[in-house]
Structure 1
């Protein structure tokens, strides 16, 4: 059961964050300020600034449901996953906790997906998982359409494996 929950968190983070690095000449892009690609607090807001919520939905190939919240402040992020046994997300998963993760992210350049949509690269460095030190880099893409956020379809632990399509099945909605 712990393995399922850990995989759920990693999958959610991969879909919602990304690895580390990236960059462009766009002034809205937040770049690491220490020069080593780990990303450190810059305090600059990005287009992701605020809280995004993915409503209750089935976690593929798992048999359980979740609600995921991503909060972005400057170039820091915090992710929380609530796991449930039912489709209404009213009964908490009995054996699992509700994993959390945090770290830093950078936004990279614009990319055109395989379907012709222009998305933005996002690279994340997860530095904490459930309060313990963690060191995972993830790479994805995203698109914001009004107050709806779509992440890349798939997971990548290297920039060259970054998704090339967006996942339109479970979107995140801006809370604030």
Structure 2
């Protein structure tokens, strides 16, 4: 079992110059509701140069598809063209689970979300997370129980006089 080391993942993405935004629990945490998570969900700019940088970062992290018989699929998540053309990649890395998503319900164009993103601290590493309204829109579109709970908790935090 790999130890989950989010700081290592974020540091590796940053060192390789990957233009990305976290969208899952790390974004929820950055917006004020601290909850447990065991992976990092993110989106990235899909231009060729960024996919080359992302592929290099994933290669350094020894990324491989997660799931039953994933290795039999013959899909290499460290290939830039594969990353550009895939819808999502659920991976294990030497620093823990990582999900790269290209097709996220409720998401708008990457540049729009990037313009509203904010920086947050994750284990001493500065990370970019989607803005509050973008996060809520994606969670509403997903409609999963955990996402609806996140929306409720984030709303409560926003209404709290301590914030």
Q: TM-score, normalised by structure 2?
A: 0.25
Larger fraction in helix: 2
